[in-house]
Structure 1
Amino acid sequence: MKILFFNTLAIILSIFTNPVKAQEIHHKHNYVVLTNKIPQLQPIFLTAEALAEEDGESFGDFQAIICGATVKDLTDKEAMQTFIEKAEKAAVKVVVCGLSLKKFKVDPKDIPKELEVVANGLLHDFQLQKKGYLSIEL
């Protein structure tokens, strides 16, 4: 009788504790920020670094999406180099809105190759939110 009781208890505990532990181990915190001003990248990078330290192993993906007329400023590759280096250090992927590039007649070839261009920055933001990303717009 004792063996049956302990075997049953072991099975029940394994059923109810393993999924919880698996979720805790694999859960990552992902972030996305939508901005229309390049200078805002600096505080975005600082925020990403602080969250990475706070989250530890749970820190996942961090993306900064640039939309609007400011995409014209991305063509200054020398000025952008500092932001690119800071983005890499902070583990932030900088994404550029393709619709903004078209609207303001900026050729994607004229922006640094380290920046990812997506067809629609707003849509990309919503798609990330649907995947559970925490989001803010500046």
Structure 2
Amino acid sequence: MKNSILYITTLFLLLCGTSQLQAQDINSKKNNYVVLSKNIQQLKPVLLTANELAKEDGKNYGAFYVIICGKTENDISNNSDFNALLEEAKAQKVNVFVCGISLSKFNINPESLPSNLEITPNGILYGFQLKKKGFITLTI
């Protein structure tokens, strides 16, 4: 009888403790953002938005990611306007990613891209993974 009570109590504590850990993963104390875009021309307004959210959130502002997917990746190489925006993104600590699937589909050589762009193998999957981690998401 004593062993049954011990087992039930241990099981109860494990279940309660685990559910709180999962809730903490989802409810981050920081506001983290990810924007999935099919148009590189959207980077400028996204950076303006990131700047305003950083001011609005204050200490609660976390990470800000931009994931670019689709044919628009063709327009990145040797694009001085886009490179200037990437420098601005870096200064604002906004991480800009391109989708590896799109690079392959449109035969874009990753070496032709600016060095401060990060490549994620699958941009859509990465967006969902970030959403599961509690990121606030927007697709434009």
Q: Work out the number of aligned pairs and report it.
A: 114
Distance 2:76 2:59 in 1: 32
AA of the residue aligned to 2:67:
I
AA of the residue aligned to 2:66:
A
Judge conservation of contact 2:40–2:82 (CA < 8 Å) in 1.
no
> How far 1:90 sits from its partner (Å)?
2.6
Deviations 1:52-85 (A, max 9, x none): 0011111110001000000111112533221112
Equivalent residue number for residue 61 of structure 1: 63
**1:80-99 alignment, distance < 5 Å:** 80-99=82-101
Equivalent residue number for residue 39 of structure 1: 41
Judge conservation of contact 2:35–2:137 (CA < 8 Å) in 1.
yes
Identical columns (%):
45
Judge conservation of contact 2:70–2:102 (CA < 8 Å) in 1.
yes
TM-score in terms of structure 1 length? 0.78
Equivalent residue number for residue 48 of structure 1: 50
> How far 1:86 sits from its partner (Å)?
1.7
Alignment RMSD, CA only?
1.4
Q: Mind listing any 5+ residue stretches in structure 1 that lack a counterpart? A: 1-22
Judge conservation of contact 1:77–1:112 (CA < 8 Å) in 2.
no
Distance 2:83 2:73 in 1: 15
AA of the residue aligned to 2:126:
H
| Structure 2 counterpart SS, 1:132 | coil
User: Runs in 1 of length 4+ with deviation above 6 angstroms?
Assistant: none
Deviations 1:14-47 (A, max 9, x none): xxxxxxxxx8xx7111000000111110110000
AA of the residue aligned to 1:92:
V
Q: Mind listing any 5+ residue stretches in structure 2 that lack a counterpart? A: 1-23
Distance 2:48 2:91 in 1: 10
| Structure 1 counterpart SS, 2:137 | strand
**1:1-138 alignment, distance < 5 Å:** 27-138=29-140
TM-score in terms of structure 2 length? 0.77
